[in-house]
């Protein structure tokens, strides 16, 4: 069961209109009004439960009333709801909660996770250093660890979102996060590799040895692009669906961070072929995920539009 809880602070002169909007939506139920309960901003507190698949319509209705501007709205996931009326509201709402994309939720999530923060830079630098070590010692376990630790997918998803919704500012901001993030991570790893060379922790010829378990990091081929496409689809679905546990699998699928780690080490030991291969692998993976992410969002919008049209033709029936 996918039910959300909406809490809104509503100017007193619009409370009746908000309640009417909620009453007119088949996916909203358990409406509670506490007159004058809010102090900052001042207003009435209105709460309700909303089937996830009806959330976009509810949010849009309250936005038309200016609640976002003059009051506030907050939505959270309900882990357990024991209510027959909530079950009926979910049954009346179009489609299924697991398939529904709450666009405001997605926008907030990718906006927050794709900011160029110290935390983002730290995680990416740590992941890239792990990947560099993995390349040197031919360790697939460390490669997986580096993939999981890397935080870059949110920025990739933000670029896909910006392409679909024609938001150039979002695209530029996410590209900045990726470029600066990977540049910093590669420089930090390069410096660490240089220090390791000076103190003889690593040797210049380590990348020349056969590395069958991690050679894919710097050897892009058509499968690299195919995997990136599949990972981009799965990643966006994980971000937009009610259940997002599959996102970790996406991190393990793509070799963005491992390629960056290998690039830094290859720069340190002047291994030209692997520098080229790592750069190409990084570019192929990022491009594949961005393309697949954008296409997935377009398909999701189109599919949900069909679901809503079917509901309008057959009110009261689950699609």
- Average pLDDT of the residues in 253-276: 89
- Average pLDDT of the residues in 39-43: 90
- For every residue of 30-43, DSSP letters joined together read EEEEEEEEEETTEE
DSSP letter at 4 equals E
Q: What is the pLDDT of residue 208?
A: 80
Q: What is the pLDDT of residues 271-287, one digit of tens each?
A: 888 899 999 999 999 99
Share of the chain above pLDDT 90, in %: 48
More confident residue, 38 or 318: 38
Residue 147 CB burial class (10 angstroms; 0-12, 13-18, ≥19): buried
Q: What is the pLDDT of residues 98-148, one digit of tens each?
A: 677 888 888 888 888 889 999 999 999 999 999 999 999 989 899 988 988
Cβ density class 36-70: b for 16+ within 10 Å, e for less: eebeeeebbbbebbbbbbbbbbbbebbeebebeee
Q: Please, which pLDDT band fits residue 319 given cuts at 50, 70 and 90?
A: very low
- Sorted by sequence, the CB contacts under 8 Å of residue 134 that are 6+ apart come out as 140, 141, 142, 143, 145, 146, 214, 258, 261
The pTM (predicted TM-score) of the whole model is: 0.84
Q: What is the pLDDT of residue 124?
A: 94
Domain 3-100 adopts which CATH fold? Alpha-Beta Plaits (3.30.70)
Residue 4 CB burial class (10 angstroms; 0-12, 13-18, ≥19): buried
pLDDT at position 2 over 90: no
């Amino acid at each position: 069961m996918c039910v959300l809880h909406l809490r809104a602070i509503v100017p007193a002169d619009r409370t009746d209109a908000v309640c009417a909007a909620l009453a007119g939506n088949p996916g909203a139920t358990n409406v509670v009004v506490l007159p004058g309960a809010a102090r900052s901003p001042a207003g009435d507190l209105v709460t309700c439960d909303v089937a996830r698949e009806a959330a976009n319509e509810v949010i849009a209705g309250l936005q038309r009333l200016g609640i976002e501007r003059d009051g506030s709205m907050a939505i959270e996931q309900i882990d357990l709801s024991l209510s027959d009326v909530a079950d009926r509201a979910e049954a009346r709402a179009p489609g299924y909660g697991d398939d529904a994309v709450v666009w405001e939720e997605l926008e907030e999530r990718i906006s927050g996770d794709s900011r160029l923060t110290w935390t983002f830079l730290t995680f990416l630098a740590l992941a890239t250093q792990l990947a560099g070590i993995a390349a040197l010692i031919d360790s697939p376990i460390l490669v997986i660890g580096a993939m999981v630790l890397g935080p870059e997918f949110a920025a990739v998803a933000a670029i896909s979102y910006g392409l679909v919704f024609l938001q150039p500012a979002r695209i530029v901001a996410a590209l900045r996060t990726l470029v600066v993030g990977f540049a910093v991570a590669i420089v930090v790893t390069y410096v660490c590799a240089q220090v390791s060379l000076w103190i003889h922790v690593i040797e210049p010829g380590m990348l020349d040895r056969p590395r069958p378990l991690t050679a894919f990091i710097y050897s892009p081929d058509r499968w690299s692009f195919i995997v990136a496409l599949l990972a981009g689809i799965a990643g966006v679905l994980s971000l937009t669906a009610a259940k997002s546990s599959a996102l970790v699998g996406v991190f393990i699928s793509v070799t963005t961070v491992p390629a960056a780690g290998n690039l830094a080490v290859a720069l340190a030991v002047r291994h030209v072929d692997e520098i080229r291969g790592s750069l190409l692998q990084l570019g192929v993976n990022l491009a594949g995920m961005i393309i697949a992410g954008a296409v997935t969002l377009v398909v999701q919008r189109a599919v949900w539009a069909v679901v809503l049209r079917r509901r309008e033709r057959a009110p009261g029936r689950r699609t």
